[in-house]
Amino acid sequence: MTKQFFTIILFCTALSSYVFSQQKTSGVIYYDQVIDVKGSVAQLGTEGGPQINVSSQQRTMIMNAIGSGNVPDKITNKFEIVFNPNGAKFQKTIDEDAPSGTAGMMMMRFGGGDRDVFFTNTDKITESFEMSGEEFLLETQLGTQSKEVEKSEETRKIIGFDCKKAIVTGRNGSKTTLWYTTDLAFKASPMAAFWTDGVVLAIENERMKYTATSIEYTKIKDSEITLPKNAKMITQEEYQKKMEEMRSRFRNMGGGQREIRIQQ
């Protein structure tokens, strides 16, 4: 009787795993992000570029650090999107090429820092980030920086999905190429401001690239994609004010040997 009971349990477990794998509604998409450091430095503080105001002295300091080898030409980071039927979350996992020193700290912030993005299967997203030791939430919309989207018939296979190509023109005129799939039952992108449709599996512009490297179907608890309880929701106006305060403090630092934590 006991043997039959365990046989039934094993059968039910196997059946449950099979059904889950067929539904493919929960799991993790893994991404590599590669940042072109020189390209990012060239666009520091410009419209559409990394919004960090730097002096010519600080810009020269970063370029010298790159030339001396203290900061690599390219920085690689690991990101992931965890998802289940109730939503998704985009988050950073590993700083692979974490540079050191003041210039390195500046460059590390170009990759998105510790900012998580929560998707709710609608056009609304919520960003979670730390600023001056406090944790905040900011609600925005998908595609807020998209001025024009040109969809193409060109296709490409990425981690087993048929993806369509789209070229997004940003508000500042910059071009970003996206590859997205509509075969997954949710909306998400590593760069939500340039979203087009479905789940974006590859992105490329002048400063960086994101490429999905694999997908793992596994159970994701709702708690893994739930907004942090202790974070404070702020408005766009409050956020812009805080950003300007941080930029002002950064300008006053004068390139000193202090840790620079600018959330982009």
- H-assigned helices in 164-255: 236-253
Question: Residue-wise pLDDT tens for the chain (264 aa)?
Answer: 455 544 545 545 544 444 444 468 999 999 999 988 766 655 555 444 444 445 555 556 666 665 665 667 788 899 999 999 999 999 998 655 544 444 444 444 443 457 899 999 889 999 999 988 899 999 999 999 999 999 999 999 999 999 999 999 998 899 999 999 999 999 999 999 998 889 999 999 988 999 999 999 999 999 999 999 999 999 999 999 988 887 777 667 654 444 434 333
What does pTM read for this prediction? 0.75
Q: Cβ atoms within 10 A of the Cβ of 99, count?
A: 18
Residues 109 and 238: their CA atoms lie apart, in Å, by 21
Is residue 258 a part of any domain in this protein?
A: no
Is residue 169 a part of any domain in this protein?
A: yes
Instruction: Look at residue 254 in the predicted model and tell me its pLDDT.
Output: 54
Is residue 99 a part of any domain in this protein?
A: yes
Is residue 77 a part of any domain in this protein?
A: yes
Instruction: Look at residue 75 in the predicted model and tell me its pLDDT.
Output: 86
Strand 134-141 and strand 232-234: pairing? parallel
Instruction: Look at residue 73 in the predicted model and tell me its pLDDT.
Output: 78
C-alpha neighbours within 13 Å on the C-beta side of residue 26: 14
Structural contact between residues 71 and 103, judged by C-beta atoms closer than 8 angstroms:
yes
Residues 144 and 137: their CA atoms lie apart, in Å, by 17
Q: Cβ neighbours of residue 47 under 8 Å, at least 6 residues apart?
A: 172
107 dihedral zone (left: phi>0; alpha: psi -120 to 50; beta): alpha
Structural contact between residues 47 and 87, judged by C-beta atoms closer than 8 angstroms:
no
Is residue 176 a part of any domain in this protein?
A: yes
Is residue 10 a part of any domain in this protein?
A: yes
Domain, as residue range, for 228: 2-253
Is residue 261 a part of any domain in this protein?
A: no
Residues 261 and 162: their CA atoms lie apart, in Å, by 39
Q: Which structure tokens are listed for 94? A: 């590993």
Instruction: Look at residue 61 in the predicted model and tell me its pLDDT.
Output: 62
Structural contact between residues 260 and 108, judged by C-beta atoms closer than 8 angstroms:
no
Rounded to a whole number of angstroms, the distance between the first and last alpha carbons of the chain is: 62
Q: How many domains does the chain have?
A: 1
Q: Cβ atoms within 10 A of the Cβ of 50, count?
A: 20
Is residue 113 a part of any domain in this protein?
A: yes
